[in-house]
Amino acid sequence: MNLPILLLLLGLMVVAAVAAVMIRSLLKSAIALAALSIVLAITLFFLGAPLAALFELSVCAGLITVIFISAISLTGNKPKEEEEEKIRERRARFLKLPIFLLIIGVFVSLAWIANGINISGISDPAAPTFQTFKNLFWNMRQVDILGQVIVILAGAFAVVVLFKERDQA
C-alpha cells in the first residue's frame, strides 16, 4: 500500500485522538474515540493484520463506545460554572499537546524515511490468508456483525432513554 494513504490515515487518527481529548461534551468525545478506532482498524487492515483490524472495530468502535455512552449517561452533570471551569483548566493543560505530538510525528516519519523502511512489508507471516476483507468480514465473522448491529441499537436506546428523557425531566 502506498505511503500517502497511510500518512493520511495516521493524520486522521491524530485528529480524532486530539478531538477525543479536547471536545467538551463527553458524548461527542466518545464518538470521536469511536472514529479513532475505525481509522485504526482500517490502518491495521491495510497493514496486513485483518483479524486485529476486525477485533479493533468490534471492540473499540462498537462495544467500548456504547459502554462509554452508557456510563456517561448514567452519571450526572456538574453545575455549569464548575464544569466550564474544569474544561478551561483541562484545555490549558492539553493546548500544548497537538504541537508536541506534531513534532514527534515529524521526527518519527523522517527517521523512517531516512532508514528506507518498507512499511508495506510488515505483515504477520503466520496469519492465515484471507482472500478479501469481504470474505473475512461478511462470511467468517458474520456473528460479530450481527453483534455490532445490536450493540449499536443498544447504544441508541441508551441515548434515547437516558439523555433524551433527562432533558425533558
Write out the residues near another protein by the rule CB under 8 A: 51, 55, 58-59, 62-63, 66-67, 70-71, 73-76, 126, 128, 138-148, 150-151, 153-155, 157-158, 160-162, 165-166, 169
- Residue 141 CB, shortest distance to another protein, in Å, is 5
- Residue 167 CB, shortest distance to another protein, in Å, is 12
Shorter beta-carbon distance to another protein: residue 14 or 64: 64
CA distance 49 to 57: 12
Shorter beta-carbon distance to another protein: residue 9 or 137: 137
Shorter beta-carbon distance to another protein: residue 9 or 20: 20
- Residue 120 CB, shortest distance to another protein, in Å, is 23
**Cα–Cα distance list, 20 to 15, 24, 26, 32, 166 (Å):** 9, 9, 9, 5, 24
Shorter beta-carbon distance to another protein: residue 9 or 37: 37
- Residue 58 CB, shortest distance to another protein, in Å, is 6
CA distance 2 to 91: 36
Close Cβ partners of 49 (under 8 Å, ≥ 6 residues apart): 123, 124, 127
b vs e for 38-62, b when ≥16 Cβ sit within 10 Å of the residue's Cβ? bbbbbbbbbbbbbbbbbebbbebbb
